[in-house]
Structure 1
């Protein structure tokens, strides 16, 4: 009976820890967005900044990505755009390749650990962008 109780408690704890992890990832994504993306895309993601006028290719309004895709958020395309290492270049090559930047910051984790860190950070950012859809 004790083992069964422990099993049931662990089944309850897993979704709770995942929801806490998801909310932390969203908070981390929001912070990263403010540090790295808001200068071009605006704090609200609508790309209404004075800096965006200086770019040769206007950054898109990130709050309408789902609306412009038949109501479905294009998660894979957003991840590839943020990462930039797949050959898909953002905004006509003007957008920085965040995957390379994150890779350089995570190199201390070794080749495979760094890649996991990079993918996690890109996903956190993409999840945040998904959360600001109108």
Structure 2
């Protein structure tokens, strides 16, 4: 069972209005629309497009395990939204950029306690990814 240290705690504390907008189900839906082709249905890096990429597609269920048991919220957020370029994502994620650009923002509490602003779709995707972490 995953241990939620960042996103889920912040969102539960934020109140019902935000909890309705940011959800694991919304994150799952976004993942199934935009991410599974490379990362696989189970997020283990074995999607049908993975073999066509020049780099190995990461297993998204092992992100916390590879980071001393802490889900790397800021790193993943920056890779998904284009603040940190990922070559396999096309640099600044031109394919998905519009999905994560929104005027509706929320503050995500990072494991350090620092706050980071993110659009609601990105927060939902991060919440979903945090729930699928394996030991």
> Does the alignment reach a TM-score above 0.5?
yes
Shift of 1:25: 1.2
Match of 1:54 in 2: 52
Give the C-alpha shift of residue 59 in structure 1: 1.4
Gaps of 5+ in 2: 1-12, 107-117
User: Could you tell me which of 89, 114, 130 is aligned with 1:95?
Assistant: 89
Higher Cα Rg, which structure: 1
Deviation track 1:94-114 (CA, whole Å, cap 9, x = no partner) reads: 21526622267x5xxxxxx2x
Q: CA RMSD in A?
A: 2.8
Structure 1 runs not aligned, ≥5 long = 1-13, 107-112
Q: Residue 32 of structure 1 is aligned with which of 30, 33, 40? A: 30
CA contact (8 A) 1:99 1:122 kept: no
- 2:81–2:100 contact (8 Å) kept in structure 1: no
CA contact under 8 A between 1:62 and 1:133: conserved in structure 2?
yes
Following the alignment from structure 1 to structure 2, what is the Cα–Cα distance between the partners of residues 89 and 101? 16
Match of 1:110 in 2: none
The TM-score normalised by the length of structure 1 is 0.68
Query: 4+ residue stretches of structure 1 with deviation over 4 A?
Result: none
**Offset at residue 128 of structure 1 (A):** 0.6
Structure 1 residue aligned with 2:131: 131
Higher helix content, 1 or 2: 1
Contact kept, 8 Å, 1:79 with 1:122, in 2: the verdict is yes
CA distance in 2, matches of 1:20, 1:119: 14
Partners of 1:39 and 1:49 within 8 A in 2: yes
